[in-house]
Amino acid sequence: MAKKKPKYNQNSIIRGALRRAFARSPIVLEVMQVSRRESPRYKKDGTRHKKNWVQRQCEVCDAWVSSSKIVADHIEPVVSVDDGFQDWNEFVARLWCDPKNLQRICHTCHDKKTQEERIERLIKKYTHELDELKLIMDSMFTSSCVPDDVAKKHIKEWIKELSKYTSKKKTIGLQSVVQRAQIMKDHLKQIKY
């Protein structure tokens, strides 16, 4: 079965283009040149290659890695963990930052850091969504003028919506959100109308 092609997302395309342009900027080149070493490179037959291997040091784990396996990373994320995406002016200003906000980081450390930031954003987002849903649920349960058929309909919709959160149980770091959603879901299933 062929993979489903993702829907065209204009913002994603623009964000990617801006990040690629930044990766080739003099700011990044300046940061990357700080730690550079060359080591001898040999061909399969044992003779010396014309060009040496270029390696750079990761500022997080201090490992020397190939220059193709290291990136310049923003210490303070371009998309704020607290506020998320604001607007394009804020995005560009945070992307083209002072070199002091950049660090050389290997792909392994970068993936780990990015995943932590992603989980932090998701926890904030899901917690906010669950808080809003809880308020709506509480207001309906305290109201005595809601007909039984309407209440049943809402409960079914909420159980379905809470399944979105409980399905994330395999995602490391989201256990608290999953647990809270499961408690809310179990509570709804116990209600008799």
List, for the chain, all residue ranges whose pLDDT scores fall below the cut of 50: none
Looking up tokens 């490391």 gives 172
* Cα–Cα dist 96/23, whole Å: 10
Q: Tell me how many degrees the CA angle 177-178-184 measures, rounded to the nearest 5.
A: 90
Q: Residue 3: what pLDDT?
A: 75
Of 168, 58, 165, 164, the closest CA to residue 113 belongs to 58
For the chain, the structural domain boundaries read 10-38+53-113, 117-190
Looking up tokens 């379905």 gives 160
Find all residues with CB under 8 Å of 181, minimum gap 6, and list them.
126, 130, 162, 165, 166
- Quick: pLDDT tens for 54-93: 999 999 999 999 989 999 999 999 988 888 888 899 999 9
- Quick: pLDDT tens for 3-14: 778 788 898 999
* Cα–Cα dist 144/99, whole Å: 60
Q: Residue 152: what pLDDT?
A: 82
* Cα–Cα dist 183/158, whole Å: 13
